[in-house]
Amino acid sequence: MSDAPLLAEAELDVHVSDDMMRASIMLPRPDFGQEPYKYKARDLIQALSNNGVVYGVDQDAIIDLVEHPVYDAEIQVAKGDPLIEGTPGEYVFHFATELSTEPPVREDGTVDYMGMKTVETVEEGQIIAEYKPAIPGVNGRNVLGMEVRAKLVRELPPLRGTGFERSEDGLTYTATKSGKIDVSNEGKRITISPIYEISGNVGVDIGNVDFRGDVVIHGSVSNGASVIAAGNVTIDGIVENCNIQAKGNLFLKGGVKGNGRTVLKAGGDVKAQFIEFAQVRAGGNIQADVFFNSDVSSDMKILMTGEHSSVLGGTMAAVEGIEAYTVGNAFGVVTKLFAGVSPQRSKEMAILQRQIDEIQKGIDRIQAGITKFDIAAKAQGNTNYRGDPRRTELLRVKIKNEALQGEYRLELENIKTIMARGKRATIKVFQNVYPGVEVGISDKRLILKEPQDNIEFVRNDNGIRMEKME
């Protein structure tokens, strides 16, 4: 029997991981000449308990460490139960929820307007969405015996909207009619609305189109035809000699050959491959590769995104600004660019305010008349005066005037909003702008006498200054 001293039991090292899901023991190596301490399983278990480790102790690992000691190395002897996070409820949509209405730019710098995806349609009976219910998580427990709670997961509310039905188990949504499908309110609402789709051209043979929804034409529109839609209008072919109006957006993939007799109006954006000899009005942005001899006006921006895009001739006006690549040409073709708030807008606002004030005076006179009528009727003991035709007529006129005044107020607020957006408008030309081009920003004007390139036109109190862009 050796006379070497035994290593004290107290020198055991217990380590608990930062996440408290693992615990290990390190047996200290005895000094030279020392007899290793003969640990028993209960010694290791007691050491773990002294350090708070009471759960997930691996008895087999402890017995193995006792029978086959390993020194100066952490040996895992306890492991907690990891939590399993749950999965929240989610919807899987079986249609494109995001459309690519921005035309892609090709490698050569040209823009592919035919590449725009402007509408997503579904057929009656088509499954449009499925719901995957939430899967609750499983709580864990660490080696200290404390429960580790999984995060609560939530179910999503049923989809709202029109044009579809939900299965009895609440998991499947099916279209009840064919049409255009939209997702809004962060994926919580689906709307399937009517769409008028024409496979060929629109002209004298088809007649005019007037539809309370979206219109998609897979051909051209010409020969004086009229297309009016309460939603968006998408035309794959050429637009020529016609009138097109949309409360939503206009997507003209084939471009516009206006011949001086084409009028385009949109409450939203207008996007076309090119626009020639046309009049264009938009409440949103107007975007094209080429503008040629056209009268173009936007309540937001006019954008030319292709590196080969240009504007030649005509007038362009945009409240929030213009971004172009080439403007005018070396032959001095008259080309006008205007940004910001035009003096005409200020005149319109003043006229509207005068009309609102005049209507208010009339409303006040009518109300005074109604008040006098009521006082006189009461003095005469007339208890049925409210039904008197004369009083009813006064009320009718008052209500009519108030409604008209409300419309003018909305129009006035809209102009004020537009004017506020135009205060910082600039005009950017990324390539060349030629002599003879007229530039205007709000009430300031400038006619270029020398060619410029990569320039931004900015209004200041003294006029319009030109700033070189980096």
Residue 225, judged by CB atoms within 10 A of its CB (0-12, 13-18, 19+), counts as buried
- DSSP notation for 34-55: PBPP---HHHHHHHHHHTT--S
Q: Is 351 part of a structural domain of the chain?
A: yes
Confidence band, pLDDT 50/70/90 cuts, at residue 249 = very high
Are residues 229 and 274 part of one domain? Answer: yes
Between strands 160-162 and 189-193, the pairing is parallel
Residue 155 · residue 89 · CB < 8 Å: yes
Are residues 282 and 211 part of one domain? Answer: yes
* Average confidence (pLDDT) over 252-262: 91
pLDDT of residue 242: 92
pLDDT of residue 7: 41
Q: Is 306 part of a structural domain of the chain?
A: no
151: tokens are: 């995060």
Instruction: Report which of residues 385 and 163 the model is more confident about.
Output: 163
* Average confidence (pLDDT) over 411-427: 88
Are residues 200 and 291 part of one domain? Answer: yes
Residue 263: pLDDT over 90: yes
The count of structural domains within the chain is 4
Residue 426: pLDDT over 50: yes
* Average confidence (pLDDT) over 388-416: 90
Instruction: Report which of residues 11 and 188 the model is more confident about.
Output: 188
Are residues 370 and 293 part of one domain? Answer: no
Are residues 276 and 187 part of one domain? Answer: no
Residue 199 · residue 179 · CB < 8 Å: no
Residue 204: pLDDT over 50: yes
**Alpha-carbon gap, residue 308 to 290, rounded angstroms:** 9
Residue 226: pLDDT over 50: yes
Are residues 180 and 99 part of one domain? Answer: yes
In angstroms, the Cα distances linking 102 to 264, 277, 438 are 19, 24, 29
* Average confidence (pLDDT) over 453-461: 93
Identify which of 14, 16, 15, 6 has the alpha carbon closest to the alpha carbon of residue 39: 6
Lowest mean pLDDT across 114-118, 162-166, 370-374, 395-399: 114-118
SS3 80: coil
Residue 192 · residue 209 · CB < 8 Å: no
* Residue found by looking up tokens 């046309």 in the block: 278
Q: pLDDT per residue over 21-58, tens digit each?
A: 999 999 988 877 777 788 889 989 999 999 999 999 99
Q: pLDDT per residue over 124-157, tens digit each?
A: 999 999 999 999 999 999 999 999 999 999 999 9
Q: pLDDT per residue over 273-306, tens digit each?
A: 999 999 999 999 999 999 999 999 999 999 988 8
Report the share of the chain in percent with pLDDT over 90. 66
Q: Global pTM?
A: 0.70
pLDDT of residue 5: 40
pLDDT of residue 223: 83
242: tokens are: 């016609």
Look at residues 57, 79, 101 and tell me which one is the last residue of a structural domain: 79
Report the share of the chain in percent with pLDDT over 70. 97
- The sheet carrying 172-175 orders its strands as 90-93, 127-132, 172-175, 164-166
**Alpha-carbon gap, residue 61 to 230, rounded angstroms:** 75
* Average confidence (pLDDT) over 393-418: 91
Helices within 389-464 (DSSP H only): 389-421
Look at residues 79, 100, 122 and tell me which one is the last residue of a structural domain: 79
Confidence band, pLDDT 50/70/90 cuts, at residue 353 = very high
- For all residues of the chain together, what is the average pLDDT? 90
- DSSP notation for 302-336: EE--STT-EEEEEEEEESSEEEEEEES-TT---EE
Are residues 153 and 233 part of one domain? Answer: no
Q: Is 326 part of a structural domain of the chain?
A: no
Q: Is 451 part of a structural domain of the chain?
A: no
**Alpha-carbon gap, residue 400 to 176, rounded angstroms:** 41
SS3 209: strand
In angstroms, the Cα distances linking 79 to 59, 60, 141, 150, 261 are 11, 13, 9, 18, 81
Residue 10: pLDDT over 50: no
**Alpha-carbon gap, residue 130 to 89, rounded angstroms:** 11
Q: Is 229 part of a structural domain of the chain?
A: yes
Are residues 203 and 111 part of one domain? Answer: no
pLDDT of residue 173: 97
Are residues 277 and 232 part of one domain? Answer: yes
Q: Is 390 part of a structural domain of the chain?
A: yes
Are residues 416 and 351 part of one domain? Answer: yes
In angstroms, the Cα distances linking 94 to 8, 123, 172, 332, 349 are 69, 12, 11, 54, 48
* Amino acid residing at 8: A
Confidence band, pLDDT 50/70/90 cuts, at residue 74 = very high
Instruction: Report which of residues 211 and 103 the model is more confident about.
Output: 211
Confidence band, pLDDT 50/70/90 cuts, at residue 1 = very low
Q: Is 407 part of a structural domain of the chain?
A: yes
pLDDT of residue 108: 77
* Average confidence (pLDDT) over 429-455: 93
Are residues 126 and 72 part of one domain? Answer: no
- Domain interval for residue 62: 9-79
For 257, list phi and psi in degrees, rounded to 5: -110, 90
Separation of CA 205 from chain center: 39
Lowest mean pLDDT across 85-94, 204-213, 271-280, 313-322: 204-213
Q: pLDDT per residue over 54-70, tens digit each?
A: 999 999 999 999 999 99
Are residues 111 and 67 part of one domain? Answer: no
Residue 4: pLDDT over 50: no
